[in-house]
Amino acid sequence: MSKVSKLAIIIFITIFVLLAGLAFGHYHSLKTDNQLNKVSYLNNTELIKLFTTEFASSLVVLIPIVEDTPGNEALAEAITDTAEPALPTQANIVADEPSPLPVIGVTPNETPVPEVVTEVAPIIPVSSSPVLTTAPPVNLPPAVIEVIQPPPAALAVAEPESAVITHLAPAVMLSPIAGQVLDLSGERALIINWQLPEEATDSSLVLTNLNTGRVILTRNQIRGSSFSYTNLAQLEEGNFSLSLQSFRRTAGAVLGNEPVVINFTLSLQPMPAPVMSSANSFSTPTQRIEWQAISRANSYRVIITNNDTGARPVNIVARTNFATVRLPAGHYTVTIIPINEFNREDNAGSVSQTIIINL
């Protein structure tokens, strides 16, 4: 063996011892976290493997040239094994394999303390993209779902939505009808009847006297399909016009149809003349003038005229079939004129009687 080789071996052994001491201290510090009482005997080969495993990423090992001599075969083999150090794997991190070497401080007759193995959570790689993880299925017992039904009275009944109506059919006039001569003799009201369209909600009426052009009646929002006009005193015999229009009113909208207009004629039968039932002469300061009532008459016009002077001391409307007056002595003519359904005096049915008052 040359002197150079011997010098190289001495230098290598010196560096190897120093590095082995550092590796042993580092290894001991790693083992104290989970195996504080465990120390294993390591041979040179294992120290080299540990050193190259732990420090391979940061140190460069100078491998000297070892001559092929019998005394250096083991050392050369150990150095050769460390040429390609193995990187630590996850299995090395999670748990250490138990060493078969004897444990310091434990005699052969004693039972070694069980090794406490601490599992390290697996390292999850960090990725810039989100990772979707799926939890394993869990077998749970089937859920029991109880459906509570409300009582029938509490159920809300949804009303069907009606279609939008854009056209309303015209109403049909039932009475009076167009061109009719309507006799109101003995009547107390003008009855108007019509047929509403199915979708209509109300109607309006306009009654016009064609003889005078005066509007007699204007009535709006009539519910139903009939109207009774009782103020016959506003009517007369002659021609009239009646306009009927129906409407459908909804929230914020009013739809009307075309008005129906008809012309008709009103008429009355002549009033019969009343029959006088009072005496022809009076000798009292008050006199009661009587006559027979007429069923159609609303009232009576009573006129008493002084035959000597032509004056009319009495000109009144009696609601009944008699009138009480106070007249001085003299000759008088009493005239009774019935008033018909239109509150018109029917002179054709008047009656006159002469009375004498003697005081």
Tens-place pLDDT, residues 178-219: 999 999 999 999 999 999 988 889 999 999 999 999 999 999
Residues β-bridged to residue 249: 254
Q: In what order do the strands lie in the sheet with 226-229?
A: 172-175, 190-195, 226-229
* Residue 32 shares a structural domain with residue 80: yes
Domain end residue (candidates: 267, 300, 326): 267
* Nearest CA among 340, 208, 327 for reference residue 273: 340
Residue 211 lies in a domain: yes
Give, in order, the Cα–Cα distances in Å from 302 to each of 142, 237, 294: 103, 23, 14
Residue 297 lies in a domain: yes
**Tens-digit pLDDT profile for residues 326-338:** 999 999 999 999 9
Cα–Cα distance for residue pair 259/170, rounded to 1 Å:
7
Parallel/antiparallel/unpaired status of strands 238-250 and 253-256: antiparallel
Cα–Cα distance for residue pair 311/81, rounded to 1 Å:
164
Residue 273 lies in a domain: no
* Residue 43 shares a structural domain with residue 16: yes
* Residue 310 shares a structural domain with residue 348: yes
* Residue 192 shares a structural domain with residue 234: yes
Q: Assign 318 a pLDDT band (cuts: 50, 70, 90).
A: very high
Predicted confidence at residue 29, as pLDDT, reads 63
* Residue 229 shares a structural domain with residue 202: yes
**Tens-digit pLDDT profile for residues 2-54:** 676 778 788 888 888 888 777 777 665 655 554 544 434 445 555 445 545 54
Q: Is the pLDDT score of 344 beyond 90? A: yes
pLDDT (average), residues 90-96: 43
Task: Give the count of domains, the chain.
Answer: 3
Cα–Cα distance for residue pair 333/307, rounded to 1 Å:
7
* Residue 246 shares a structural domain with residue 200: yes
Residue 162 lies in a domain: no
Residue 323 near residue 314 (C-beta atoms within 8 A): yes
Parallel/antiparallel/unpaired status of strands 260-267 and 181-183: parallel
Residue 165 lies in a domain: no
The whole domain housing 206 covers 172-267
Residue 317 lies in a domain: yes
What CATH number is given to the structural domain containing 185?
2.60.40.10
Domain end residue (candidates: 94, 117, 148): 94
Domain end residue (candidates: 267, 289, 307): 267
Residue carrying structure tokens 């049915």: 349
CA 123 from centre of chain: 55
Q: What is the DSSP letter of 189?
A: S
Residue 16 lies in a domain: yes
Q: Is the pLDDT score of 137 beyond 60? A: no
Predicted confidence at residue 271, as pLDDT, reads 93
